[in-house]
Amino acid sequence: MSVGVLLVTHEGVGGALAAAAKGVMCNLSLTVGVFEVPWQIGDREHHATALRLAVRQLDQGEGVLVLADIFGATPFNMACENNPGCVEIRVAGLNLPMLLRVLNYPEKNLRELAEAARDGGRAGVVLDA
């Protein structure tokens, strides 16, 4: 068993990041799901139900790490509001270095992966003067 990873993002972001990670790593070491929230959300309850289902499907008994693109934006808020009862931790500020860091440590537990995500995201932002 391992931790599942769910990218909860605005439309077009999560799928692109998952594809980029697969291109870099060839084989993903953890199960990665993508849940993209449409720009014009429409029926919010329909999407909330789909989000809860996505989390449940990724939970293999070790929990689900939810990586959201923007803290406080609709995808992040929906992830916070729609906890299906699985153990999950949410991290915002998703970027490719964050995702790659998570995928490089499949043996870590949920809390350790959340910390790796935070650290990888920060380390991937550099100002080259």
Q: How many C-beta neighbours within 10 Å does residue 68 have?
A: 28
Task: Report whether CATH 3.10.580.10 matches the domain 4-123.
Answer: no
Q: What are the two backbone dihedrals, phi and then psi, of residue 6, each rounded to the nearest 5 degrees? A: -120, 120
Q: What are the two backbone dihedrals, phi and then psi, of residue 80, each rounded to the nearest 5 degrees? A: -70, -35
Hey, where are the domains in the chain?
Answer: 4-123
Condensed to tens digits (0 to 9), the pLDDT of residues 15-68 reads 999 999 999 999 999 999 999 999 888 888 888 899 999 999 999 889 999 999
Condensed to tens digits (0 to 9), the pLDDT of residues 58-107 reads 998 899 999 999 999 999 888 888 666 665 788 999 999 999 999 999 99
Tokens encoding 31: 């199960």
Q: Is the pTM of this model over 0.85?
A: yes
Tokens encoding 21: 């990670």
Burial (CB count within 10 angstroms: exposed 0-12, middle 13-18, buried 19+), residue 43: exposed
